Each structure stands twice: as C-alpha cells, then as structure tokens.
C-alpha cells in the first residue's frame, strides 16, 4: 500500500480542525483534548477492566476444559465500563461474536489455545500492553 503524503497531511488537517471545533480550542495533543477523551479514551478503560475480568494470572493447567477459562474470556469481552459518567458496553468486539462465544460449549481445545495465548509476549502501545 502506498501512502500519499499530500493526502495524509490533508486528512490530518481536517481531523485537527474537526477536533478543534469540538473542543472549542486549538488541537495540540491527544491527551489535552476533551473530545478525544470522551469519544475514544473509553477504550483504555475497556482494556483495563477486561484484563481484570480475564484474570489470566490465576489460570492453571487443570482449568483447561473446565469452562473456567472460557467463562473468564466471555466475561472479559462483555465488559461494561463507566467513562465520563456514562455506562458503555464493549463495542470493540462485534456483538454477534460475543454471543457466539458465550454459546460455545466447554471446549478443551479452545481453553488450551487461550492458555497458550497467556504465555505469548505482549507489545506495548501508548503505555498499554496488548
């Protein structure tokens, strides 16, 4: 994929004007924008709450196939958070996939895969592990 510098600059200019209009002040940084905080930063709250619900540090090999790991994952993807005094459902995972996962029967292979994922190294992006 080729990225056009001109298009990128044009779109960024439109973005900064949009955010400046919403904030009623010049956009200078993501952390200083009330609009960005309200419209986007709830995602960090989901990440933190979902990781807590996941509880990976308590998973044990004997949990594989018991449904405990699968239930923890289901709980994590159904996370709700309060951000800016509003309760927000997790919209980062398609609701159909959430429902399908919740309806999946206990599955040793699935739990094994999830357990193996626990051992994979995480990357840091903007101060958060993924």
The 10s digit of each residue's pLDDT in 16-67 is 999 999 999 999 998 889 999 988 888 888 888 888 988 888 888 888 888 8
Task: Indicate the pTM of the whole model.
Answer: 0.61
Answer for the pair 70, 107: CB distance below 8 angstroms, yes or no.
yes
Q: Which residues contact 87 (CB under 8 A, 6 or more apart)?
A: 80, 81
Between CA 31 and CA 18 the distance in angstroms is: 16
Answer for the pair 92, 43: CB distance below 8 angstroms, yes or no.
yes
Give me the pLDDT at residue 121, please.
58
Q: Which residues contact 4 (CB under 8 A, 6 or more apart)?
A: none
Q: Across all residues in the chain, what is the average pLDDT?
A: 82
């Amino acid at each position: 994929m080729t990225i056009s510098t001109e298009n990128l600059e044009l779109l960024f200019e439109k973005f900064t004007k949009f955010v400046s209009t919403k904030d009623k002040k010049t956009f200078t940084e993501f952390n200083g924008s009330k609009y960005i905080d309200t419209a986007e930063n709830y995602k960090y709250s989901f990440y933190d709450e979902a990781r807590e619900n996941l509880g990976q540090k308590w998973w044990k090999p004997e949990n594989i196939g018991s449904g405990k790991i699968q239930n923890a994952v289901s709980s994590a993807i159904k996370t709700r958070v309060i951000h800016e005094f509003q309760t927000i459902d997790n919209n980062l995972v398609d609701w159909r996939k959430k429902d399908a996962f919740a309806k999946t029967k206990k599955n040793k292979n699935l739990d094994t895969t999830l357990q193996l994922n626990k051992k994979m190294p995480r990357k840091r992006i903007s101060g958060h592990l993924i």
